[in-house]
């Protein structure tokens, strides 16, 4: 039976934040590394329910609310992918997790990349879903859409409700949205050299109708060691791939967040280093 309720849910003092997190399963009780799930922009732990349920049968799952998201109140601290990655690292250390596999969606995928760059010893394997490593990885229309974000757009939504529960101040919510706009419009600027330097095996996932350009996903895949000339020449894989790439058909940026049933088996095979099977044709 899959675990659907957290074994632990609490706030921890992390880098000046009161950071909310949930743990599903036991820590330190398995040889399988725990999986840290990082939600996307404006999303909280509850947005990852289907992913948690699908993974928790095989591994311990940790999920947390980033600064200003869900049950983690905002502070005067400026937002950046690097700071959010440092928060994730501090959370893992507070939980006495020496090494975790990490999967992030959208903004969370960008945070996962920074975690792998800034705290390499903490990251076993890395899954980037619908995320970019540079601003030009997004279609321009994505950035234009973020510019139009305001409190009216979030009126009555779970995002507004969760924020006002811990900070009942509309002006603070407006300030949070403005900080988020800056974070996501400016995005991050990870160099090719930094991408190559990541020690964690990497899986890149996007939709073919994603906000992430497909060519950007392919570039990320190649920088992470993707492509196998021996497999190309023989038609078969001889070793576990260094990197994996998934592009889902007819799948948008938001749509991919609902594809856990399709993606979790592929992600689990990657996390477990399962060698893809080759059929007998000749």
Sheet holding 243-252, edge to edge: 8-14, 17-24, 61-64, 35-38, 100-105, 123-129, 201-209, 243-252
How far apart CA 253 and CA 30 sit, in angstroms, is: 34
Tens digits of pLDDT across the chain (282 residues): 344 799 999 999 999 999 999 999 999 888 899 999 999 999 999 999 999 999 998 999 999 999 999 999 999 999 999 999 999 999 999 999 999 999 999 999 999 999 999 999 999 999 999 999 999 999 999 999 999 889 999 999 999 999 999 999 999 999 999 999 999 999 999 999 999 999 999 999 999 999 999 999 999 999 999 999 988 998 888 889 989 999 999 999 999 999 999 999 999 999 999 988 888 877
- Domains of the chain plus CATH, in order, are 8-271 (3.40.50.1820)
Residue 238 has a pLDDT of: 87
What's the Cα-to-Cα distance from 269 to each of 55, 82, 86, 93, 165, rounded to whole Å?
11, 29, 28, 26, 39
Give every CB contact of residue 210 below 8 A, 6+ residues apart in sequence. 130, 217, 251, 252, 253, 256
How far apart CA 66 and CA 113 sit, in angstroms, is: 15
Task: Kindly report the pTM of this predicted structure.
Answer: 0.96
Residue 3 has a pLDDT of: 46
Query: What are the tokens at 57?
Result: 């049968």
CB 64 within 8 A of CB 55: no
């Amino acid at each position: 039976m899959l675990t659907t309720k957290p074994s632990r849910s609490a706030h921890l003092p992390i880098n000046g934040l009161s950071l909310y997190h949930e743990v599903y399963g036991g820590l330190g009780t398995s040889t399988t590394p725990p999986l840290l799930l990082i939600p996307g922009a404006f999303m909280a732990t509850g947005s990852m329910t289907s992913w948690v349920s699908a993974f928790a049968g095989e591994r311990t799952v940790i999920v947390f609310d980033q600064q200003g998201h869900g049950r983690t109140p905002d502070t005067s601290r400026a937002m950046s992918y690097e700071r959010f990655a440092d928060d994730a690292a501090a959370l893992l250390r507070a939980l006495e997790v020496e090494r975790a596999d990490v999967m992030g969606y959208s903004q969370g995928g960008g945070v996962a990349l920074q975690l792998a760059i800034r705290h390499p010893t903490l990251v076993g394997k890395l899954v980037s879903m619908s995320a970019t490593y540079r601003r030009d990885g997004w279609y321009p229309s994505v950035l234009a859409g973020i510019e139009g974000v305001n409190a009216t757009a979030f009126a009555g939504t779970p995002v507004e409700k969760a924020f006002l529960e811990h900070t009942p101040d509309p002006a603070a919510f407006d300030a949070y949205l403005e900080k988020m706009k800056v974070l996501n419009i400016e995005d991050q600027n990870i160099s090719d050299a930094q991408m190559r330097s990541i020690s964690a095996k990497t899986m890149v996932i996007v939709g073919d109708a994603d906000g992430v350009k497909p060519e950007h996903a392919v570039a990320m895949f190649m920088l992470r060691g993707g492509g196998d000339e021996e497999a190309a020449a023989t038609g078969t894989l001889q070793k576990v791939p260094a990197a994996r790439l998934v592009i889902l058909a007819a799948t948008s940026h938001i749509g991919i967040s609902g594809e856990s049933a399709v993606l979790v088996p592929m992600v689990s095979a990657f996390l477990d280093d399962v060698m893809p099977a080759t059929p007998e044709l000749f």
